[in-house]
Structure formats: C-alpha cells, structure tokens
Chains A and B, each alone.
Chain A
Amino acid sequence: MLKRVTNEWIGENGMPATLAAQGAMKEPASPPVVAIKGLSLTYEAADGPVYALSNVDLQIAEGEFISFIGPSGCGKTTLLRVIADLEQPTGGDIHVNGVGPEEARLRRDYGFVFQAPALYPWRTIQKNIELPLEIFGVSKAERREKASKQLELVNLKGFENKFPWQLSGGMQQRASIARALSFDPKLLLMDEPFGALDEIVRDHLNEQLLKLWDKTGKTVLFVTHSIPEAVFLSSKIVVMSPRPGRIIDIIDASVLGRDRTLDIRETPEFLKIAHRVREGLRAGHSYDD
C-alpha cells in the first residue's frame, strides 16, 4: 500500500522510507520527538502581559508531519520558537528528542525555516546553503557536494552563483529550505514557508515537500494558514486558538496515506477532514466574541 514514485525531485537513491513510514502508521515505540506538557509562555509587553501560549500539551512521534493552523496571533510561531530554544517558556515541561530544547539546539537536532527567507545577501545561493555546514566545521569538498545535492532537490540548479536579491521570492524561499535541509536534520520546523508564494508554486512545493518527507522519514512541524495545505500535507493537524494561545483540536489525517497527489483534494475523505479543521477554527474564533 506504500507505493513509492521516484521523480526528479528525489532521485533513485534516496533512503528507503518504509521504516519511518511504519513508525508513523502505528503509534511509535520510540520516544516522542517533541513532548510538551502544560507549556505556557507569557510575554511581558509594555501594556500588560500577552498570554501567547497557555497550558499546551502535545506529543509528536518520529516521522510525523504535523501542521499547526489557527488565526493570526494564536502562538504558532511562538510554539515553534520554544521548541527551537529561541524563546523561553514561562511554565510547563518541554522535551525535544528526550532532552531539553537547549541541549537539542546545541546538538543541532533541528532545521528551522523561517517565515521570511533570511538569506545573507553577501553570500551566493550556494554559499548560503553551505552556511550551516560551514559553521559545523564540515570540510569544503563535503560542503560543496551536500549543497549541490540540495540545490538539485529544490530545483535551483544553475542559480548557485547568483545572489539572493537576484532571485524571485519563491526561489529565495526554496533556497532557505535547501539551507535547512543541507545538514540533514531529523526534525524540520517550518514557519509558513510558502506563505508568500502563488498558488501554483505553492502546490508544486507542497508536493515536493511531501515526497521528501515520505522518502526521508523526517519529522516535520509546519505552520500554515491554509486549510487545504494543512490537510494535504499532514499526518496530524493541530488547530490553535488565540487569547490565550492554546490547542483546541488535534485532527488525525493519516487515513489519507503518506503517498498523496494533488488530486486527493477532491476526495470525500479529504473534504471531511478539511471540514473538521474549519469547524475547529470557527469554534476557536467564537471564543473571542
């Protein structure tokens, strides 16, 4: 049932994903990649406290694709940043790969794709993708090889010697994804990576990302505002709600399988899940009024 299609994006010799796939299908025996219990984060702003996250519980198993969806300001970015140790929680427990977020960060356990590409303009695309490898002290030859593999993966071959500002927004975002993938982290944190792209490019990148995930068995945490995108990509969808930022529903979408094409967006299963996500978002909004 786990049919695998090879394509230009992955190539023939990717790692077999069967193991990781099974891990996602049955509930895992391995420890959770992210374990969050009673997590809260309050920002002390000038005009009083902002309850960005309140009492969040979440377990993410290895090889899952989790989408976070919810209205603006519900704490999606904050949650990802806490996992990445870029923000300190004010309460609760969080473990990443069995250790604290700081230790996980120091071990370089994750790759983060920010909402904006954040490429360094003085570096060529190739050099930008090599940046993490350079910092990890990887040898020059190995850097070249890994970067050019990622360039191929995100369809940027031929642009390696261009500077970021010479590329379109979508190409820049793809370069930033290649940069996050370059050191092959097992955990990918992606904050609205396709937010600024047009529908067609977005569909295309969604397919590519899904195939990459299917092939490599990475765990992906993905923030989005789009319901179809969330349903199309995810094994689980986490619906959040603001003031205070919290999780109001976790919807399982693994019935759609791992190997999806864009056509499944018309199937009844897909629409049923999308409907449930929409209901969840509505419920979250009505809290405000």
Chain B
Amino acid sequence: MSANRHALILTPLAILGCLYALYLVHRPDVAGQAGLAFWAFIVVLWLLTGFAISGLSHLKLKQPVARRAIGLAVPVLFGAFLFFLWEVIVIGAGVPSVLMPAPSAIAAKFSASLPLLRDDFFQTFVKSVLSGYAMGCLSGFLVAIIADRVPFLRRGLLPLGNFVSALPVIGIAPIMVMWFGFDWPSKAAVVVVMTFFPMLVNTVTGLAAVGKLERDLMHSYAAGYWRSLLKLRLPVALPFIFNALKINSTLALIGAIVAEFFGTPIVGMGFRISIEVARMSLDMVWAEIALAAIAGSAFYGLVALIERGATFWHPSYRT
C-alpha cells in the first residue's frame, strides 16, 4: 500500500530524469556517440519509470476525480516513455534516418508539411474512406435486412461473403482503378468491397441472435415482421452491427491507402507514402504514418464512443 505512495514522488523524478536525458542526447558531443554512462543512465531511468508507473496503477484513491486522472495518466506516461526511448536510442546511437527517424524529426516534418498533409488527408480520408465506408456499411446493412427476409439469399450470400473477404486488396484495387478511374471513386469502391461483407455477415448474425423467449413474446403479441424487427431484432443486432462498424473503420483506411499504390492523382496518403519511399525521404513517410494512425484511432474511438452510448444495456458496458 504505502509502497505505491512512493509513485507520487517517483513519477516527477522520472519525468525530470527523462527530460534531462533528452537534453543530453541532443548535445553534439553525445548524439550519435553516446557512451556507456549515458546508456547506464537510460537503464536507470527505465527502472525508475517502471516502478513509478506500476506504483501509480496500483494506487487506491478515494476521490473519483483523482482516480480518473490517474487512470488517464498511466497510459499517457507509458506511451510518452516509449516515444522517449525511441528518441534517445535513435539519436544516441545515431541510427540513420532512412532506417528509423527520431520522433522529433517526424514531428518537425509533420508540422512543416501541414498543407500537404491536409490535402492528402482530405483526398484519402474524407473523400475515399468516409464515402466508401458509409456506402459499404449502409449497403451491407440493407442487403442483410433483405437477406433476412429472403432465406435463399442468406444461404447464397454468406459463403460468397467469406470468399470476397478473403480476396486481397492488392487484387481488387487495380480492377477498381480500371472500372472507376484514377481519382478517389476507385478507392472508395475498394473500401466499399472491403467493408460491405463484414457488415453483411455481422448484421445477419446479429439478427439471428434473438433468444427464443424474446421472439415468442413478440409472436404472442401478434407483432408483424417489421415491428418485431424494429422493437426486438435490431436492438439485439446492434452490438454486432457496431462490431462491424469498428472493424470496418480500420479496414477502410488500410484499403484506401493501399489502393492508392495502384494509380492515383498526385495527392493522397497512400500516393505520398509510395513516392516518398522511392525518394528515400522516410521522415515524410513516417509523417503520413503518424497522420494515418491519428486519423484511424480517432475514427475508431468515435465509433466506439457512439457504441457505448447506443448499447449501454449490453452486459459488457453495464454499470
């Protein structure tokens, strides 16, 4: 118990130590030629931070505000320390930036190329991903409802769904470019293909997940198909649908980026990655990766947040 209290002293100490190490590593006489003493210092910091974070995560606090703050601080500190390690190792050991640029270099590149990144983001995320995601998910959902109504469709579509899910993006992307041209519609089409079937399969599964008694209840009220769909089966399917929405949020971004490798106008995140790799300017590639990571996590997080609100009654969220 009281050992964990030490975390409140150890944490600021570890942070100060890390900041000092950052200052050290960027000095010309250390960068690229850090000595044993420096690495020994880093190892000490590692241990110190480890104790501090594990102490923090075991702290038992009374006030809910403090508990929330700690709950937030633990992952933030953990992530920050990983970035710190990345930075000091790359700078301290003088890793060539073609192999692995330092986070500071990526951040510098990121802020220096904001207009370019904004255009790429707009092209890839807003145009291709969002439109493809919306169309793919919506059509997957609607076809699932139709398939639910027409049993032979369900039996035919589900195996086909598994088959198409197994198709590699690399295979369908060039075909979509042939069909829909170089600009974003072909990328959106790839996203539609990738997101359609997860939504279809999940929704069909969800609609079938209704318990016998719950269904009998609707039957005993002589409720028609649409009423029992609306009042019972769709709510039951909602966690499954959100599951598909979450899977698709990551799939869509991957699909759109990879699809841009196969012909695109001179803008877009995938396009940028492919040409900057060829030019060996890896810091720009990493800036795009950072952008993709931020956009992808924000998108996923937003869907997960809506899910929490919409399926609050589900056993995994009940409070």
Nearest Cβ in chain A — how far from B228, in angstroms? 8
Chief secondary structure at chain B's binding surface = helix
Q: Mark A119-159, 1 if CB is under 8 A from B, else 0.
A: 01110000000011011100000000000000000000000
CA distance A85 to B232 in the complex (A): 20
Nearest Cβ in chain A — how far from B255, in angstroms? 32
Among A21-29, A89-97, A105-113, A244-252, the stretch in contact with B: A105-113
Nearest Cβ in chain A — how far from B246, in angstroms? 19
Q: Is the CB of A114 within 8 A of B216?
A: yes
Nearest Cβ in chain A — how far from B222, in angstroms? 5
Residue of B nearest to A115 (CB): B213
Q: Is the CB of B213 within 8 A of A114?
A: yes
CA distance A270 to B18 in the complex (A): 83
**Chain B residues within an 8 Å CB radius of A134:** 231
Query: Is B318's beta carbon under 8 Å from chain A?
Result: yes
Query: Is B6's beta carbon under 8 Å from chain A?
Result: no
Q: Is the CB of A112 within 8 A of B214?
A: no
How many Cβ-Cβ contacts under 8 Å join chain A to chain B? 49
Q: Is the CB of B217 within 8 A of A112?
A: yes
**Chain B residues within an 8 Å CB radius of A84:** 220
Nearest Cβ in chain A — how far from B247, in angstroms? 22
CA distance A35 to B227 in the complex (A): 31
Given the interface contacts A114-B213, A134-B231, A165-B318, does A121 sit within 8 Å of B221 by beta carbon?
no
**Chain A residues within an 8 Å CB radius of B313:** 121-122, 163, 165
CA distance A114 to B213 in the complex (A): 7
CA distance A233 to B211 in the complex (A): 31
**Chain A residues within an 8 Å CB radius of B231:** 120, 131, 134-135
State how many residues of chain B have any CB contact under 8 Å with chain A. 20
**Chain B residues within an 8 Å CB radius of A111:** 220
Q: Is the CB of B216 within 8 A of A120?
A: no
Residue of A nearest to B214 (CB): A118
Q: Is the CB of B213 within 8 A of A116?
A: yes
Given the interface contacts A134-B231, A135-B231, does A120 sit within 8 Å of B214 by beta carbon?
yes
Nearest Cβ in chain B — how far from A122, in angstroms? 4
Contact of A135 among B213, B214, B227, B314 (CB under 8 A): B227
Query: Is B146's beta carbon under 8 Å from chain A?
Result: no
Nearest Cβ in chain A — how far from B291, in angstroms? 37
State how many residues of chain A have any CB contact under 8 Å with chain B. 24
Given the interface contacts A135-B227, A163-B313, A165-B318, does A120 sit within 8 Å of B219 by beta carbon?
no
CA distance A115 to B216 in the complex (A): 12
**Chain A residues within an 8 Å CB radius of B311:** 122
Query: Is B223's beta carbon under 8 Å from chain A?
Result: yes
Given the interface contacts A114-B216, A163-B313, does A120 sit within 8 Å of B232 by beta carbon?
yes
**Chain B residues within an 8 Å CB radius of A106:** 222
- Segment 242-270 of B: residues with Cβ below 8 Å from A: none
Query: Is A50's beta carbon under 8 Å from chain B?
Result: no
- Segment 63-104 of A: residues with Cβ below 8 Å from B: 81, 84-86
CA distance A69 to B101 in the complex (A): 78
Which of B213, B214, B218, B227 gathers the greatest number of chain A CB atoms within 10 Å? B213
Q: Is the CB of B220 within 8 A of A110?
A: yes
Residue of B nearest to A124 (CB): B313
Nearest Cβ in chain B — how far from A189, in angstroms? 9
Closest 7 CB pairs of A and B: A118-B213, A121-B313, A122-B313, A106-B222, A135-B221, A135-B223, A112-B220
Q: Chain B interface (Cβ within 8 Å of chain A)?
A: 211, 213-214, 216-223, 227, 231-232, 235, 311, 313-315, 318
Q: A114-B216, A122-B313, A132-B221 are in contact. List 7 more A-B contacts (CB 8 A).
A: A81-B216, A86-B220, A112-B216, A118-B217, A135-B223, A165-B313, A165-B315
Q: Chain A interface (Cβ within 8 Å of chain B)?
A: 81, 84-86, 105-106, 108, 110-112, 114-116, 118, 120-122, 131-132, 134-136, 163, 165
11 contacts between A and B (CB under 8 A): A86-B216, A105-B220, A112-B217, A115-B213, A118-B214, A120-B232, A120-B235, A131-B221, A135-B218, A135-B223, A136-B221
